[in-house]
Amino acid sequence: MAQLPSDYFADDQSWGSYQFITLKELVDDMLADTVDSDSYLTNTRRSQIVRKLKEGIRVVNRSSQKMFHVAQLTVGPTLYFALPQNFVDWIRVSVIDKNDRLQILNVNRNINTADGYLQNNQYEILFNIDGELLTTDLANAYQNPFIQHTFESTSDTSLISKHGDFKVNEDRGTIHFSSNIEDKDVVIEYMSDGLDLQNLKEEEIKIHKHMQDAVKWFCISEILSTRKSVSLGDKRTARNRFLKENHVSKILSLKFDFLTIGREINSMPT
């Protein structure tokens, strides 16, 4: 039974739910086709459908970037902390100002996060007994946090670092900040590839309806690709259908707004 508007507005867990479908709903819908002798999915196991749908979510999400997360943390005196476990790439990093507004931070690649190689007095690189490099953090931002100096400038570029700087060190899974961010709350908006889906129940995994058909046809295409009884033509048809739906998903995720684009163009300096 469809949810009544009064029930929807009374339950904050329902807000915005219409734009998503759960993995369980999609699995159950596709599972109904497995008993149809004319279906692509005839005699397909439920576990195989679930596995391929999860793969499809990761593949489609990389194109449409619909699976993203937001985390808020306070920056301590070390000026860095570990990235979220399911982090793949950052979208935007902001600091919360005194008016509780998000102010975008500038990415600063000059923050030193490089591993220092230990050397002897002959400048020869040192190794341990297993032949592995010996490294140190004495000269990088792990031991020497990045100090942001303020100065007066008439250049327009002086506003670039107005609110602070950050740098992501993907190799060691950390994000670093400039000294003026200490004790402030930052918000990290980041993408995930969906590997964390393995730890969630089917009812907890939500798929945006823009992605639904692309994920479904990825699953069908992958299942058919391993079946000897399916003709090459049918395999190609399923693959092309996935590519088409994935393209549609990417277009929908762009959210073209010509009014906004026009306003931004008109506001650009001449």
Question: What is the tens place of the pLDDT at every residue in 118-167?
Answer: 999 999 999 999 999 999 988 888 888 888 755 444 444 444 568 899 99
Strand ranges inside the chain, DSSP E: 20-22, 68-74, 80-82, 89-96, 102-104, 106-107, 116-117, 135-136, 165-169, 174-177, 185-191, 206-208
This prediction has a pTM of 0.61
- d(C-alpha 215, C-alpha 193), whole Å: 14
Q: What is the pLDDT of residue 152?
A: 47
